[in-house]
Amino acid sequence: MGDSTSPGAAAALVSVMMKKTNLFMQIVVNKDGTVTCPQVPALPPSADSPASPVLSRDVPLDAARGTFLHLYLPNPVPPSPAAKLPVILYFHGGGFVVLSAASIFYHNYCDTMAAAVPALAASLEYRLAPEHRLPAAYEDAEAAVAWLRDAAPEDPWVAAHGDLCFVMGSSSGGNMAFFAGVRAKKQQGAGGDLVRGLLLHQPYLGGVERTPSEANSEDDGMLPLEANDLLWRLALPEGAERDHEFCNPAKSLPHDVVAGLPRCLVTGNAADPLIDRQREFVGWLKDRGVDVVAKADSPGYHAGELFVPKKAQELCAAVREFVFASSTILTRL
């Protein structure tokens, strides 16, 4: 984690993620259908702090939607195994319902990743459910990929330091990264080949029939079963069930949709209630001919990298290995 969080603040955030006071369990669905969500501390960009080891600044994406990209650049820019730094488009988690690119633990993770890989990271502020149910987040992710294709080469940080493009997400953001790859693949010949790798960390997936890891998660401290079900009810299109393709792509997406996807890294933790889904997802991708690097058996729980520095460093190491192992076959921005 970055230096922005004191040990006391980090411990307080972890304590929120116990079953009775879990962040997701604090979501209140009001009688009028609106939702009241818990507030999480946010951090501002650091571009005005030249001594910061990682600089950050916001780039507008779509003013009407309220979306933007939070860019992170190591300071100073270190030597890279490739000619320039990889550009990693990152989607935060929160079950499509809560949290933000500026939320303290996602800001700190991107800060850590930018320095550790090293990379130029771009974290998307996207629209949240239930005010904006899926596919709204996918549309925002698609717009962010379009920014990488059309506008990023003119951005001063990207122009000077950015090179290869990857799309990454954690939890619901991992789900978004997958669908961003699917949508980008349809744009082959129009810049769709820009996305050269997908990094899917603990992708948020579900289904009507419980897996064993889901069935055993009633008292999970990070993603209790009750909260998991609520998040999907709020995020999916009105009337959709959990076997909808947005939730259960391995069951409901046509088989040929994933053919031709770029190389994928799928990472996850053994104690995650979603781990069975993630393993099934890896098998499904491989069966469709996708080149998958799977590291879904790491010890730990859902979102552990946001609270445990060692887990953050492990994830950054997996990202670094995947990105730079692919550098000889990737094209430039």
Paired residues of 69 in beta bridges: 59, 124
DSSP 192: G
Local structure of residue 132 (DSSP, 8 states): T
Contact 168, 177 (CB under 8 A): yes
The residue among 59, 57, 118 whose CA lies nearest residue 87 is 118
Active site residues: 171, 272, 302
Largest CA distance in the chain: 55
Burial of 219 (0-12, 13-18, 19+ CB in 10 A): exposed
Query: 172 CB contacts (<8 Å, ≥6 apart)?
Result: 91, 93, 94, 95, 96, 137, 204, 231, 235
Closest to 176 (Cα-Cα) out of 208, 228, 141 = 141
